[in-house]
Amino acid sequence: MQPTSPIFRATRFLAIGAAAAAAFGLAAPGIAEDAAKSQPTKAERTIEYRQSALYLLGWNIGPIAMMVKGEIPFDAKTVELRAMRLAQVAPMIAEGFPPDSQTGAPTKAKPEIWQNMDDFKSKAAALELATTRFAETAKSGDPKLVAAGLGEVGKACKACHDQYRAD
């Protein structure tokens, strides 16, 4: 734990509060227990990490999908930026699924992931490839090519969700 992290500071603050409360003869145990509970477990942090990375994918693909569907005007610069972000985030997915993160916080990750880790990783790699290609395609600014590229990326998302994400 970095000494400067907000959690560390919050914990220290509560600990000082508990010590002060004890010094003044107040009921301190509750405060000390809260301080201990405020530390997220390793599994909680890992699950939050992967859900955040996946949330970023959803956040960035959303506007492109809306453009392709004609729900908002096509904007080549936005497509290029968001496609680049998808390619940057895709390689961050696999490391969010170490063996000790199957449980420990609410998750839609199915246990099958850890029984078929090689296949899961190959699906993550397929997304990396599709998003890297898509980031190149997006530079063309051609709505037809973008629609086709988005389709390829969407297939890579779906292939993994169908098998490894609970509904």
Binding site for ligand HEC (CB under 6 A): 47, 50-51, 54-55, 57-58, 61, 86, 93, 107-109, 120, 123-124, 127, 153, 156-157, 160-161, 164-165
Closest to ligand HEC by CB, 31 vs 131, is 131
Smallest separation (angstroms) from ligand HEC to the CB of 124: 4
For residue 98, what are the CA distances in angstroms to 9, 109, 111, 123?
A: 28, 12, 12, 16
Smallest separation (angstroms) from ligand HEC to the CB of 115: 13
Smallest separation (angstroms) from ligand HEC to the CB of 128: 9
Report the Cα 81 to chain-centroid distance in Å.
Answer: 19
Closest to ligand HEC by CB, 17 vs 154, is 154
Residues near 109 by Cβ (< 8 Å), separated by ≥ 6? 47, 50, 97, 101, 102, 164, 165, 166
Report the Cα 52 to chain-centroid distance in Å.
Answer: 3
